[in-house]
Structure 1
């Protein structure tokens, strides 16, 4: 190699070394990092309903959070979720089941890190609509006066439960009866106020969304879910199954979440 070529080669190496030194220490680790998946459960359930989904997501390398949704009121539940989201660094895929769909629809508006919404047998409200409005918009829901019980609260509101004897048929018909019995006994009630509180500005108007619809849902009628997902322009998958599809078919739910997550890249 001539002296001139050696000089040019050395200059290139120095320049390259300077460029690499200027990169942040975590640049390689950050590039292509997977988004955090935040899973929000709905009424008459708790975060353990996501266990099968969480196992699959974490096995595939996704960071996951599944908070306990308070189920006390839409605005307060949204505020709680926003507090949690504020602690998450980087992009987020926000997933809501059932009433949780209403919570994520409102919470995502205030968080620019939410890059995708995933609705799982969920309510997807527009501004001014309530969970009650949408679940009764079309015939087919078995949630009614004869299948629920209410517990009055000191605040003047009331907690709403699904009656134990109706729980399996309404909520989890595609699960073993023994599993449904446990879910019924441990169900977390939602307040009547949360079910009737109007929703705010919907995030699905500005954030891309995906949806999974169980065709045998007895809580949110099939026609209602098709109406909401079409309106939100959600990329939608329909499967056979009941309202608790996140428990009975965690693989299908995970597949859709990971599809949404890959789209954030």
Structure 2
């Protein structure tokens, strides 16, 4: 049997193959090429603001889907200290984003985006409220919760006092871990809800009572996802606020943790809002 050596490729032939491969890769990645994902700079940036008793990881399922569709995404950390403080922090995040923004808030995060977006109508093109508060000026999250029956949050929380820099006392509110799943995430698998309970971010009790001073939903188009099995914000309260804001509203049979239990539904309403941005 005769064994032949592989033929040595000449320098010119090698350069030709390299150029051909380079052109093929370029064709696959150029914007507008068949099968290529949409360029992120062609889409508004989606900014996600979590609420109380959660953190930015509560958006993970939504982030994955939005990124797959080509959207730039920022899942901001919410200090949960009060509407004025938290809105100022969120505005600092928005200041570092170029181009149009769709601002999404869950729960108390709705209070924050309502305040943060006011005056930024040229940048924030749509507001999306996910099982969220849409307060008017002079209203608080706690006041809106108590306006309608249905919330059992008061029976499920505990508070921890701490000392502020000026020596006065503050209070942080948590959901008791053994009540977390039933109260906040009844339709989330038990193992995942258990991790959420351990990693929950507390909210300052004063934040729930602080009154809003701005309501961006009056000047920016709004969308709302109402959760009918919610034990934190009564469904009647969600419907009232959504109707008052003339928000394009969808209802879903879900717990308060809808971004975790139904990330696809949340993504769809965010994309509905994003498609209106030009």
TM bucket, shorter chain: 0.7 to 0.9
Using the TM superposition, name which of 67-76 and 214-223 deviates more: 67-76
Distance 1:164 1:221, change over 3 A: same
Q: How does 1:139-150 map to 2 (within 5 A)?
A: 139-144=149-154, 146-150=155-159
Aligned position for 2:126: 116
Aligned position for 1:76: 85
1:184 aligns with 2:194: no
Aligned position for 1:157: 170
**Distance in 2 of aligned mates of 1:118 and 1:133:** 21
CA contact (8 A) 2:40 2:70 kept: no
Offset from partner CA, 1:9-64 (integer Å, 9 cap, x none): xxxxxxxxxxxxxxxxxxxx999811000000000000000000000001000000
Deviation, 1:264, is 1.4
Q: Supply the RMSD in Å over aligned alpha carbons.
A: 1.5
Aligned position for 1:255: 268
1:40 to 39, 46, 49: 49
Segments of 4+ moved more than 4 angstroms = 29-32
Larger radius of gyration: 2
**Distance in 2 of aligned mates of 1:255 and 1:31:** 18
1:202 aligns with 2:208: no
What is the TM-score when the length of structure 1 is the normalising length? 0.87
Offset from partner CA, 1:129-178 (integer Å, 9 cap, x none): 0000011110100111x311100110222000011121111100001111
Aligned position for 1:244: 257
**Distance in 2 of aligned mates of 1:200 and 1:92:** 22
Structure 1 runs not aligned, ≥5 long: 1-28
Structure 2 runs not aligned, ≥5 long: 1-37
CA contact (8 A) 1:82 1:110 kept: no
Q: Give aligned pairs, total.
A: 236
